[in-house]
């Protein structure tokens, strides 16, 4: 598939009008009403006009932008349908090939789950036809839930990892795509033959992904050691060097499950690898895998010492609440991480987690934080505003797009969703009108906007995600 046909440019200037809600800070959402947001052909926000009279646009606003009025397409959020624009969600950790297994985990925990469910499925996705079916589906499904950017693990197979990047580029979903490195622990049928092979295959995939999107606007490669137990010391050392050489991001798993942590201690004693300490974090640090572009999934059981190292390196944590509950890994202390200055995003971790929805992850993050609060302290609780920050602006920090996506500000790119909660409930049928698809959220009309957002967080789903844009391009529309 060539790169030429996959133009990711929006075709024309666009004006979005109505209500805009986005995280300003970790603790505060911004609400803008009757606002006009101008997005140019590159998908960049070039102007924001609060309290704007749309009828004036053609005579005043467009000339100021140098836009011919008939060159602009206008998209309004409908107040009558409780619609608003919200930044696209960022899924900072998921496994595309595991998508067919969502919901299938029985009573397993991490290490037996990998063996029983995960490795066989991933291995089977070296079949390009099967991979195409699964990857197209996971892209379309996550887009329909408002995920405008995803940090994907593919498999160890180069051809189909590259295919995943092709498909993301064509669909217009921003993605980090990682060819999974693993030269030990897994069954022979699904393991790199050597550290050298693993690095060579990784380089091959990086070269390909960079060739289809040279500026990395939509798809970018990410160095992906699966997790310490499935990587030999020489492999991790080589991948650390590769990260330093290329400046590329790194993604891996850390401190997810107690059995896994014990295994890491046993496999990589400090003495053997020349580490300065005896923790999981020291293993990655020893091999140069903790950079300011490293996304560490889970971090459920990290110690104070480990968090200090992660903070010093500028590495980030992807919180995966659904997976951590499903696989009984534990309850990550997100407040505790945030208080130590760690940047945190949310990950579905399919199929450790069973849901493709980052909105669902924000909801589960709120609930897991309440479980932490019950056993620890009140301030662990995360608010509606905080979990929606993690789902958007927080995620942008993890995927290297801080200041570029995750909010609505001049200079940022238009990665957005149009959310509709439906008409206010009234005690009658809407006769003579086409009935709007009913979602799960009921708005009665007296709710404040913060309360509408809270109702969306706790009861909303993809039925509320009406349209989705990436870099100005419409990539999903709910029919």
* Site residues (vs Fe ion, CB under 5 A): 349
| Residue (327 or 418) nearer to ligand GUN, CB | 327
For the bound state, the minimum distance from the C-beta of residue 4 to ligand GUN, rounded and expressed in Å, comes to 35
| Residue (35 or 92) nearer to Fe ion, CB | 92
For the bound state, the minimum distance from the C-beta of residue 346 to ligand GUN, rounded and expressed in Å, comes to 14
Q: Is 256 in the site for ligand GUN (CB under 6 A)?
A: yes
Encoded one letter per residue, x for contact with ligand GUN by CB under 6 A and - for no contact, window 112-131 reads --x---x-------------
Q: Is 293 in the site for ligand GUN (CB under 6 A)?
A: no
Distance of alpha carbon 68 from alpha carbon 58, whole angstroms: 8
| Residue (90 or 300) nearer to ligand GUN, CB | 300
Half-sphere exposure of 134 (CA within 13 A, CB side): 26
**Diameter of the chain measured on Cα atoms:** 77
Taking CB within 5 to 8 Å according to partner kind, which of ligand GUN, Fe ion, none is near residue 256? ligand GUN
| Residue (212 or 322) nearer to Fe ion, CB | 322
Give how far the C-alpha of residue 148 lies from the chain's centroid of Cα atoms, to the nearest Å.
Answer: 8
Q: Is 355 in the site for ligand GUN (CB under 6 A)?
A: no
CA distance readout (Å), 373 to 55, 261, 325, 376: 50, 24, 16, 5
Which pair of structure tokens corresponds to residue 47?
């102007």
| Residue (57 or 110) nearer to ligand GUN, CB | 110
For the bound state, the minimum distance from the C-beta of residue 354 to Fe ion, rounded and expressed in Å, comes to 13
CA triple 199-202-206, angle to 5 deg: 140
Q: Is 349 in the site for ligand GUN (CB under 6 A)?
A: yes
For the bound state, the minimum distance from the C-beta of residue 110 to ligand GUN, rounded and expressed in Å, comes to 6
Among the listed residues 152, 149, 238, 150, the one whose alpha carbon sits nearest the alpha carbon of residue 192: 238
For the bound state, the minimum distance from the C-beta of residue 114 to ligand GUN, rounded and expressed in Å, comes to 6
| Residue (122 or 349) nearer to Fe ion, CB | 349
Encoded one letter per residue, x for contact with ligand GUN by CB under 6 A and - for no contact, window 209-228 reads -----------------xx-
CA distance readout (Å), 108 to 115, 124, 325: 10, 21, 11
For the bound state, the minimum distance from the C-beta of residue 252 to ligand GUN, rounded and expressed in Å, comes to 8
| Residue (352 or 407) nearer to ligand GUN, CB | 352
For the bound state, the minimum distance from the C-beta of residue 430 to Fe ion, rounded and expressed in Å, comes to 44
Distance of alpha carbon 163 from alpha carbon 154, whole angstroms: 10
For the bound state, the minimum distance from the C-beta of residue 42 to ligand GUN, rounded and expressed in Å, comes to 36
| Residue (109 or 383) nearer to ligand GUN, CB | 109
- Exactly one of 251, 323, 325, 465 binds ligand GUN (CB under 6 A); that residue is 323
For the bound state, the minimum distance from the C-beta of residue 404 to ligand GUN, rounded and expressed in Å, comes to 28
Taking CB within 5 to 8 Å according to partner kind, which of Fe ion, ligand GUN, none is near residue 191? none
Q: Which long-range contacts (CB under 8 A, 24 or more apart) does 24-28 make?
A: 24/407, 25/389, 26/338, 26/385, 26/386, 26/389, 26/394, 27/383, 27/385, 27/386, 27/389, 28/385
Angle at which helices 158-171 and 128-144 pack, to 10 degrees? 40
Region binding ligand GUN by CB under 6 A among candidate stretches 34-42, 110-118, 137-145, 401-409: 110-118
Among the listed residues 408, 419, 409, 415, the one whose alpha carbon sits nearest the alpha carbon of residue 464: 419
Q: Is 255 in the site for ligand GUN (CB under 6 A)?
A: no
Contact 42, 472 (CB under 8 A): yes
Please tell me the count of residues contacting ligand GUN according to CB under 6 A: 11
Taking CB within 5 to 8 Å according to partner kind, which of ligand GUN, Fe ion, none is near residue 357? none
Which residues in the 400-429 window bind ligand GUN by CB under 6 A?
none
Which residues in the 44-103 window bind ligand GUN by CB under 6 A?
95
Among the listed residues 440, 401, 425, the one whose alpha carbon sits nearest the alpha carbon of residue 216: 401
Distance of alpha carbon 63 from alpha carbon 73, whole angstroms: 15
Contact 87, 469 (CB under 8 A): no
For the bound state, the minimum distance from the C-beta of residue 227 to ligand GUN, rounded and expressed in Å, comes to 4
Give 351's contacts (C-beta < 8 A, 6+ positions apart). Answer: 95, 98, 99, 100, 101, 102, 103, 104, 105, 117, 118
CA distance readout (Å), 81 to 210, 446, 447, 457: 42, 14, 13, 17
CA triple 373-375-377, angle to 5 deg: 45
Q: Is 156 in the site for ligand GUN (CB under 6 A)?
A: no
Q: Is 352 helix (H, G, I), strand (E, B) or coil?
A: coil
Extended beta strands in 306-430, E state: 316-319, 344-346, 416-420
Q: Is 352 in the site for ligand GUN (CB under 6 A)?
A: yes
Give how far the C-alpha of residue 13 lies from the chain's centroid of Cα atoms, to the nearest Å.
Answer: 27
For the bound state, the minimum distance from the C-beta of residue 433 to Fe ion, rounded and expressed in Å, comes to 45
The residue ranges that bind ligand GUN (CB under 6 A) are 95, 110, 114, 118, 226-227, 253, 256, 323, 349, 352
């Amino acid at each position: 598939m060539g790169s030429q046909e996959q133009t990711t440019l929006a075709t024309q200037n666009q004006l979005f009008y109505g209500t805009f809600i986005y995280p300003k800070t970790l603790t505060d959402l911004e609400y803008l009403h009757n606002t006009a947001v101008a997005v140019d052909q590159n998908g960049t926000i070039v102007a924001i006009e609060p309290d704007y009279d749309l009828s004036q646009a053609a005579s005043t606003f467009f000339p100021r932008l140098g836009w011919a009025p008939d060159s602009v397409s206008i998209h309004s959020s409908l107040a009558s349908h409780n619609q608003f624009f919200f930044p696209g969600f960022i899924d900072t950790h998921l496994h595309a090939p595991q998508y067919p297994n969502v919901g299938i985990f029985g009573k397993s925990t991490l290490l037996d789950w990998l063996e029983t469910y995960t490795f066989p499925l991933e291995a089977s996705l070296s079949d390009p036809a099967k991979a195409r079916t699964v990857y197209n589906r996971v892209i379309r499904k996550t887009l329909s839930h408002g995920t405008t950017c995803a940090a994907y693990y593919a498999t160890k197979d180069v051809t189909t990892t590259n295919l995943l990047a092709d498909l993301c580029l064509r669909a217009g979903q921003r993605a980090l795509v990682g060819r999974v490195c693993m030269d030990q622990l897994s069954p022979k049928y699904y393991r790199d033959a050597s550290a050298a092979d693993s690095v060579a295959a990784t380089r091959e995939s990086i070269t390909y992904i960079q060739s289809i999107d040279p500026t990395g606007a939509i798809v970018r490669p990410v160095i992906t050691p699966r997790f310490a137990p499935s990587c030999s010391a020489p492999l991790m050392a080589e991948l650390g060097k590769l990260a330093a050489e290329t400046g590329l991001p790194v993604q891996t798993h850390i401190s997810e499950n107690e059995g896994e942590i014990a295994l890491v201690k046993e496999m990589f004693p400090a003495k053997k690898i020349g580490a300065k300490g005896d923790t999981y974090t020291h293993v990655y640090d020893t091999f140069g895998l903790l950079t300011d572009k490293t996304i560490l999934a889970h971090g459920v059981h990290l110690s104070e010492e480990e968090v200090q190292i992660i903070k010093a390196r500028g590495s980030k944590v992807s919180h995966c609440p659904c997976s951590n509950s499903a696989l009984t890994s534990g309850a990550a202390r997100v407040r505790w991480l945030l208080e130590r200055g760690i940047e945190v995003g949310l990950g579905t971790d399919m199929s450790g987690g069973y849901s493709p929805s980052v909105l669902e992850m924000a909801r589960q993050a709120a609930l897991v934080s309440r479980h932490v609060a019950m056993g620890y302290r009140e301030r662990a609780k995360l608010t509606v505003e905080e979990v929606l920050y993690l789902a958007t602006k927080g995620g942008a920090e993890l995927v290297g797009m801080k200041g570029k996506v995750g909010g609505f500000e001049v200079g940022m790119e238009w990665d957005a969703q149009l959310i509709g909660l439906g008409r206010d409930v009234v005690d009658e049928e809407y006769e003579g009108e086409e009935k709007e698809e009913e979602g799960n959220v009921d708005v009665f009309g007296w709710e404040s906007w913060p309360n509408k957002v809270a109702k969306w967080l706790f009861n909303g789903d993809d039925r509320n995600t009406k349209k989705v844009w990436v870099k100005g391009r419409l990539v999903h529309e709910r029919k």
